[in-house]
Each structure stands twice: as C-alpha cells, then as structure tokens.
Amino acid sequence: MKTLAEMAVEVLTTADGREKTALSHAHAATWRAARAEGRVIEIGHATPPLRPARPERPELLPPRDVPRRRPGTKQGRIALLHALAHIELNAVDLHWDIIARFTHVPMPPGFYDDWVKSADEESKHFNLLCDCLESMGSHYGALPAHAFMWQAAEDTAADLMGRLAVVPMVLEARGLDVTPGMIEIFQKAGEDDAVAALRTIYAEEVGHVAYGVKWFNWLCGRDGLDPKDVFHSLVRKYFRGALKPPFNEEKRAEAGLPPDFYWPLAEEVADAPGTAAFR
C-alpha cells in the first residue's frame, strides 16, 4: 500500500495533463475510500520534485511575452480558457505538493482530507476546461502559457504557513475576484459549456480558500500567534507585488477571509509596479 506522500509524488512526477489528473482522481478515491471505512492511509514521507513534471507543450514564456487576450473574439476566449486550464493544472500540483512537502509538520488527518479533496476538484476543473477547449477546436498545449506559475510554490517550499498565506489565501482568493467577470464573458458569447465549467470552478474554489484560512488559523492557534499579523508579514515576505482590488468581499467572507487581512496589503503597495502572479 502506497503512503499518501508517495501518491502525491506520483502525481507531481507525471507530465501529461490528462494522465496527471486521472492519477490524481484515482489517489483521491483511494484516500476517501479508506476514510469512509474509518481508516487513515499512512501519510509517510517522500521527496517531491522542486518543480512538477509538465508536458512538452504548452511552451512556457515569461508573462510579458504571453500574447494578450481579447475576449471579444473566439480566439481570445480560447486563449482565456487555455490560460485558466494552465492555472488549474498548476493548482493540481500545488495541492499535491502541500501534501508531500510538509510531512515533517504533524497535522491532523483533516488537513489531508481537505487538500486531497481540493486536488481532486482541480483535476476536474482542468479536464472541464480541456473539454471546452477541444469542443472549440483547440486543446491544452496549443498556445504558450505563463512560466512563473510555480514561483509561489518554490518561494514557500520551506514554510507551510507561508505556503498557506500565499497560495490559497492570496492566489486562490484572487480567483474568486476575477471569475464572475469571466463567467459574464462566456455568457455574452453564448458558450454554455464554458459558463457551466466556470460556475463549478467558482463554487468549489471558495472551499479551497476556506481550507487555507482554516489551517492557517489552526497553525497560528497552535503557536499562540495573531493570524492577521502573521498573514501580513508572510505575504510581504513571499508575495511579489500588490494585492489588486476590487476584491470579491462576499466570497472572501464566505471563505473566512476578513477585509482587515487583505485591504492593508493592497493599500500600502497600491502604487508599486507589482504583478499579479495569478493572471
């Protein structure tokens, strides 16, 4: 029987997107089945790669070289879905990476339940977007993609609280801010499959942000730290650039992320030449 950490490394070292997500679904099902029987699969220890395996295509380019998307055209909407599929594939790896990378920190089984569920959902998101791309005559890999998506993972590879602060509580929260506008673009274009995919993603991403908040608060409570202060110092340390308003205050609240966590970071660096890594 494989340990959960070994399963995570298997996903991380599988390059092809459809294969990676199939393995991700299979391992998530194995974990869930054991939990339903009242068992917990051993977490174990493994050595995750610094960077996950990726397919030969898409070509990865620096953000400024990725062609701009104009959502008023079908090609522009394909480019938008392609960029999102790339984010989802990174998210699959990010959730398995948090499982494998921090096994030296003793965490309750619920921590693993949450990230296995998130990884399972990201795998579904990637496949939904690939299906949309294929039905529009394209596919994942047809266009270049953002090279720096994994930067946040590398920057926080030695800091679980930093990882939680930057990945679910900044980057995935940013997803909540921008998804309603994307849903509107596809609604206007009458592309119903993309609208349905984005609605599923939007609903499930709230949970991923909430898991980040939950375990960030848990670690702060364990160490007697003030979560807001720690969040501010970790985001300043690891996140390159400003938090970009407008924020989706309602969905952020639903995920347990209060305004005094994110607004002070947006205001103090509002004029810095920052980049929003998630776009």
DSSP per-residue letters across 185-220: HHHHTT-HHHHHHHHHHHHHHHHHHHHHHHHHHHHH
**C-alpha triplet 30, 31, 35: angle, nearest 5°:** 115
| Stretch of 24-32, 43-51, 206-214, 256-264 lying at the interface with Fe ion (CB under 5 A) | 206-214
Site string for Fe ion, 160-189 (x = CB under 5 A): ------------x-----------------
Name the token pair of 61. Answer: 């380019």
- Give the shortest CB-97-to-Fe ion separation in angstroms: 13
- Does residue 30 contact residue 6 with C-beta atoms inside 8 Å? no
Separation of alpha carbons 189 and 202, rounded Å = 19
- Give the shortest CB-94-to-Fe ion separation in angstroms: 8
Site string for Fe ion, 34-63 (x = CB under 5 A): ------------------------------
Phi, psi dihedrals of residue 146, rounded to the nearest 5°: -65, 125
DSSP state of 156: T
Separation of alpha carbons 17 and 133, rounded Å = 14
Token look-up 């879905």 returns 81
Which of 208, 232, 251, 252 binds Fe ion (CB under 5 A)? It is: 208
Task: Rule CB under 5 A: say whether 125 interacts with Fe ion.
Answer: yes
- Give the shortest CB-172-to-Fe ion separation in angstroms: 5
Which of 10, 120, 122, 177 binds Fe ion (CB under 5 A)? It is: 122
Token look-up 């949970």 returns 207
- Give the shortest CB-226-to-Fe ion separation in angstroms: 26
- Give the shortest CB-268-to-Fe ion separation in angstroms: 27
Residues within the interface to Fe ion (CB under 5 A)? 88, 91, 122, 125, 172, 205, 208
